[in-house]
Chain A
Amino acid sequence: SAVISQKPSRDICQRGTSLTIQCQVDSQVTMMFWYRQQPGQSLTLIATANQGSEATYESGFVIDKFPISRPNLTFSTLTVSNMSPEDSSIYLCSVEQGGAGTQYFGPGTRLTVL
């Protein structure tokens, strides 16, 4: 499976600021995905990022709050804008691989907003 890295691994941020999370994959992939996992909850898909096109956002998530870039086939960024304590969560990127379309996850970014 692909090797996926994320930066930063964790951060503590002040309310009202923004944080950009980077996701790097060691192979070219068509689609990359961004998930959020709030404490004690399961994974919630934020958006799907295809190279060369606008990201597709799930219900409840908007581009102004979570702008995404996908400049090439191995890299993507997710920005959490104008943060509030409710944004405190783990943010994970993932890619699909294999015939079954299995999702493989990066190590995650643990965000705490004060």
Chain B
Amino acid sequence: GQNIDQPTEMTATEGAIVQINCTYQTSGFNGLFWYQQHAGEAPTFLSYNVLDGLEEKGRFSSFLSRSKGYSYLLLKELQMKDSASYLCAVRDASGGSYIPTFGRGTSLIVHP
């Protein structure tokens, strides 16, 4: 299976930029997903990376380096509503399954 590692918690200031890292180990990498989950709500899809490089989507960007087993989610111009848990999920096709495994998530606290 995959070993997915994310920081447990991060804090940042409104208006700032924050980078949430995710490292993973997998033998059959087949895609990496980022999800946002507000307290008491279901996860919502943010981004998908399968090739190396940066994917930009408004204030959110996601980066992938397959050789390093590394991804980050970059949040710009932070808003209070960005306070949430951010989940990194990795799909490993080596065992024949295409269902991603989720990391424990990073709880982001944005303060004024």
Contact = CB atoms under 8 A, between A and B. Distances in A.
Contacts of B99: 33, 45, 48, 103
Contacts of A102: 33, 45, 48
B48 A100 contact: yes
A67 interface: no
A38 B87 CA distance: 14
Contact of A103 (B100, B103, B104): B100
Contacts of B66: none
Contact of A107 (B41, B87, B101, B103): B41
Contacts of A100: 31, 48, 50
Interface residues of A, number: 19
Interface residues of B, number: 21
B45 A42 contact: no
Given A102-B48, A107-B42, 11 more contacts: A41-B104, A42-B104, A42-B105, A43-B102, A100-B31, A101-B91, A102-B33, A103-B89, A105-B42, A105-B43, A107-B41
30 contacts: A1-B45, A33-B99, A41-B104, A42-B87, A42-B102, A42-B104, A42-B105, A43-B89, A43-B102, A44-B102, A45-B99, A45-B101, A100-B31, A100-B48, A100-B50, A101-B31, A101-B91, A101-B98, A102-B33, A102-B45, A102-B48, A103-B33, A103-B45, A103-B100, A105-B43, A106-B42, A107-B41, A107-B42, A108-B42, A110-B40
